[in-house]
Chain A
Amino acid sequence: MSHQDEKHEILELALNFVGLNHPFSRREFLLISGVTVVGISALGAKAGKKIPLIIMDKAEGIIIADPTKCVGCRRCELACTEFNDGKASPTMARIKVNRNLNFGPKGVYTGQRGQGNWGNGLITQDCCKQCPHPVPCANSCPNDAIVVQPPTNARVVDAKKCIGCKMCQKACPWEMMSFDSDMNKATKCFLCNGTPKCVEACPAEALNYVAWRDVTDKVPPRVIPTAVIPTEKVAACIQCHKK
């Protein structure tokens, strides 16, 4: 069976699975029902590694930060890794404050004219935006290791699948991916199953966990992503989006 046929077969299964047997185009179907193709991997044998994972479901919540209240204590970073991973590791923290703490997001070349402790005092806390489709980190993963985790639908690294290639680190425009060098696995904000530890830890009420909304077009990127999207996923994008 050709690759294309395999895909078709899987999608037919998916449509059956949700009780529909209607000749919608794949794209129309997905748009109308919001069914995520993520579910396909749960179908078992038919779903092989070659079938790409595309996250469609939106997250339920997002962490929103207020830089005018951040006091630079970094307890959010510490709570994230100590309470989740048993070690204090700000480099690995899934909320990122230290990189903006002293000089602001534009960095040290702003001297005392920027933000942060050396500038005007504002400290930008970088949080994962739990991107809507297309999810850059998930799409860049060659092993489909970034998945949606109910009930929050946070975009989460499945450590069992992560091969430690670090492609996702290059994909995020806001440099929000972390890497656990002890485990050799990527990691990212998973909203702590609905009660984010960073939000709980903040002594200045500078973090809030709120209903998800799309902030990807409201926050300037930190870097230009240099990840490569695996070809299977490229193919899937084209399949899904063409008429």
Chain B
Amino acid sequence: MAKIGGWVGKVLRVDLSTGRISTENTIEKYKDYLGGTGIGYKVIWDEVPMGTKPFDPANKIIFTVGPLAGTGAPCNGRTAVTTLWPTCWPKPLVASGHMGGSFAAELKYAGYDGIVIEGKADHPVWLSIIDGQVQIKDARHLWGQGIRRTTIEIAQQLGPEASVAAIGQAGENLVPMSVVMNSFSHSAGGVGAIMGSKNLKAIGVHGTGSVYIAGNKEEWEKIIKLHLSLLGANNQHVVPNKPQPWAEYYHPGSRWVASSGRKWGAADPAIDTGACDPHNLHRIAYRTNSAAYFLGADAWQYTVRGNGCSSCPIRCHTMLKVPSAASKYGISEIGQNTCMGLLFGRVFFKPPPDGPRGQAAIEACMVGMSLADDLGIWCNYGQLQRDFVRLYYNGTIKSKLDEKEFKSYSWDKYEKDDPSFLFELLPRIASKEGELGTALGLGTGYMLERWGIPEEEWTKDYRLWYWKMGHPKHHANEDAGQCGVIINTQYNRDAQCHSHPNFTRNGLPIDVQKRLAAEIWGSPDAVDAVSAYTPMNIYKAKMAKWSLLRKELHDSLSLCNWMGPWVASPLKERGYRGDDSIESLLYSLATGDKKSRQELDQVAERIFLLHRALTIRDMGTKEMRTRHDTIPEWVFKDPSGKALYTKGTIHMDKEDMNMAMDMYYEEMAWDKKTGIPTVTTYQKLGLGKVADELSKKGLLP
């Protein structure tokens, strides 16, 4: 048999209660689950019994990567973190977070495809991994320190190349809304407190080994170059955001913001990003500037450069240098992050007078990053901030806090959008100080419960974005109509699936999108123009299934679902086509395990199905359709009362969504009435044993 590449062969098992460290053979035990969330769900299914709570020592936290992590495949820097989710309400269930940075690659070079951590240390510890040498080390001197100091002190021991994934005070204090972070700005949300509950302050890895490519190295080089040629900008947006000399199309909402005249202004000296013709693979890194996209044109002058995960040419993090923020607020001049991480600080406030994209907004973001990324606080896709704004302005906070605590906050500063307010609020969330600090750190579900606010108040108001089980929507109907809604019903936290908005927002004209859709999902009717939705059809169900499966595939292979899949491209000569089999081509060559696109999608389906089975088992119900796959009321209402299927509305039709769920379950070969997989489906995907166990509990249709 040809040699095996990709995987490096060992999964590390660490029991913090006993101090026992051992390894398992990745391929023998987990090959059929690939890596990442695949291994995560498998371990939870096999080893974490129903009824386990997130902070129990018996809960496991699983840091896993896939066979492509650490290779030269573009966009492979992701580590999946799977565990029982502490903000999942009312009952914690399995979920996964993801962090980028350098951790995934470094773990592979150290010789591990993943780490499974269980138990609880009796004092604060950190896990040290230097190639084959794994030690549980005392972290008492680090406990109480922020993520930044922790990282630097561990790097002093392991060397400057080490990757350190650490929690801040929030995780230590068992604040459910906490993160683990590596490489300065790359966090996995929701899991910080799990590590904290195990007294695990950090994992530091340094590896000097290799990831082998099983296939012929010239073939590998070819496929990498093909993949690079199909890349767009962040989120695989494939057209520039204004006319460029080379471009047939453009889209003001695109994240491809490079242009002649737009410079990395804080580079030394400044660098013009230029026209960035897609054929020039040497300028991929200039296409994206997340800070400019989210914070407006003012951000260009503060941009030092892009940053991001190992191996990724996109650089979706932006490194900003804002001296005014440093001098006003005593923070570092330099901050960096992307997306919600970038916006963390600003969205606590109503938009400032100079708008959501002005100097004040930028400074608020700098303060937010400086605090949150050191304390290790999670935003839950901005739900923390949306809840806060609502609860303050509707008087709830005032009514729930005693007078002393309420007066201890400078609400006048808050109302004036003064970012220095965050210095009062965020540390108190991280240390669970006071009623407000405690409540906000619980996550929406538990916070509403604590304050006696019925969930219905949140599910009926579109402005809160709340979906279910304590978490918000994440690319739902506003992005992709029925397809987006289906996707948002499927998880135990916000869906974190980007397969579908990457396509719908790619900037191509609707006719081109429809032409591509026909090739990928069987009909141009799979996609509608934004807010011009048409009734449900089978092709939208296929798109939903594809989106979900590819997300799990990416999370298990280590490919970035914020960039993939790559079904559209910026190349006119290809008709803007990407390649739907990029994942299987990379996988087959790297590992030596040849799988077609369909075969690999089947493995993804197995992984997704295991997540489904876990959810069913731990909810203890067959009634997934009615009890889990729920859709909040606001999805069905239009704030200005527009009729359904009118252009300009994004609200959905209940009957149509019922049909949508029917079609989705049919597509998945699940029971339509209950929404649970059938025994045939489990068996077809190699999960016969899973079906048996569920059968014993009466959880099959």
Contact = CB atoms under 8 A, between A and B. Distances in A.
Given a CB threshold of 8 Å, the question of whether A touches B is answered with yes
Interface of A: 68-69, 71-75, 78-79, 81-92, 98-103, 107-109, 111-112, 116-118, 120-122, 182, 201-205
B315 A78 contact: no
A103 B158 CA distance: 13
Contacts of A112: 148, 152, 332
A74 B109 CA distance: 14
A116 to B, nearest CB: 8
User: B interface, how many residues as a size bin?
Assistant: 35 or more
Nearest to B149: A111
Given A82-B221, A120-B304, 19 more contacts: A68-B267, A71-B306, A73-B310, A73-B311, A74-B310, A75-B72, A82-B220, A86-B213, A87-B210, A90-B109, A98-B161, A108-B159, A117-B183, A117-B184, A117-B319, A182-B210, A201-B72, A204-B305, A205-B283
Interface in B333-369: 334, 336
Contacts of B207: 91
A83 B589 CA distance: 13
A87 B212 contact: yes
A121 B305 contact: yes
B455 to A, nearest CB: 41
B412 interface: no
B20 interface: no
Contacts of A117: 183-184, 307, 319, 336
Give the residue among A81, A86, A182 with the most B Cβ atoms within 10 A. A86
B530 to A, nearest CB: 30
Which 3 A-B pairs rank lowest in CB-CB distance, beginning with the nearest?
A203-B313, A89-B210, A78-B72
B211 interface: yes
Contacts of B308: 71-73
A108 B285 contact: no
Contacts of B332: 112
Nearest to A86: B217
6 contacts: A71-B307, A82-B72, A86-B220, A99-B160, A101-B102, A204-B282
B209 A91 contact: yes
Contacts of A78: 71-72, 311
B213 to A, nearest CB: 5
B312 interface: yes
A53 B315 CA distance: 45
B156 interface: yes
Nearest to A103: B160
B217 A91 contact: no
A243 to B, nearest CB: 48
Contacts of B208: 91
Given A72-B307, A82-B221, A112-B332, A91 B212 contact: no
B155 interface: yes
A79 B222 CA distance: 12
Give the residue among A68, A71, A75 with the most B Cβ atoms within 10 A. A71
B156 A109 contact: yes
Interface in B180-198: 183-184
Contacts of A111: 152
Contact of B161 (A85, A99, A122): A99
Contacts, number: 138
A81 B208 CA distance: 13
Interface string B268-300: 110100000000011111100000000000000
Contacts of B109: 89-91
Nearest to A80: B72
Contacts of B271: 68-69
A75 B315 CA distance: 12
A202 B304 CA distance: 18
B285 A102 contact: no
A71 B271 CA distance: 13
A75 B311 contact: yes
Give the residue among B156, B224, B305 with the most A Cβ atoms within 10 A. B305
A187 B111 CA distance: 22
B220 A83 contact: yes
B160 A108 contact: yes
Contact of A120 (B72, B155, B210, B334): B334
A121 B334 contact: yes
A88 B213 contact: yes
Interface string B216-242: 110011001000100000000000000
Nearest to B184: A117
B155 A103 contact: yes
A79 B225 CA distance: 11
A122 to B, nearest CB: 8
B184 A118 contact: yes
B168 interface: no
Nearest to B309: A73
A190 B369 CA distance: 43
B311 A74 contact: yes
Interface in B52-91: 70-72
A118 B320 CA distance: 12
B217 A203 contact: no
B306 to A, nearest CB: 5
